[in-house]
Structure 1
Amino acid sequence: MEWSIGFAAIALLIVGLVGQAFEMRKIRLSSYPDGELASPNVFTNKKNFKWYALIGIGIILWYAAERM
């Protein structure tokens, strides 16, 4: 396993997941009043796609690190 690529992949995954969680919170608080449950469509908000890209790149790098 290539450790430097593996660490970069893990960092991208962590940043992507934490960033996406905060973004989802901001979307939910701005779109839905207090106490109301959010719609499942909140996952397809265009603000989330940058975080999905980071998570995807992290997964690809992790896979590549495992194969080296």
Structure 2
Amino acid sequence: MNLIKGNIVKNLISTEAERIKSAFQFDPLFAVNCSIVDPIPHQVKAAYKFLMPIEEWKAKANN
């Protein structure tokens, strides 16, 4: 009754890898959601509103 040919474990790992590879496109807080840390809302706001633009400015300045 098994319709999947080949190694099931390899198929599951491959599927999970593809999910992780594209997850950031759909979840703007992907890094926070996949970590083992439970951030407080003001920490998320600080990281994404204040710290991320600073990194973007540094990257533009280095180019």
Same fold (TM over 0.5): no
TM-score, normalization: structure 2? 0.32
For the pair shown, the structure with the greater C-alpha radius of gyration is 2
TM-score, normalization: structure 1? 0.31
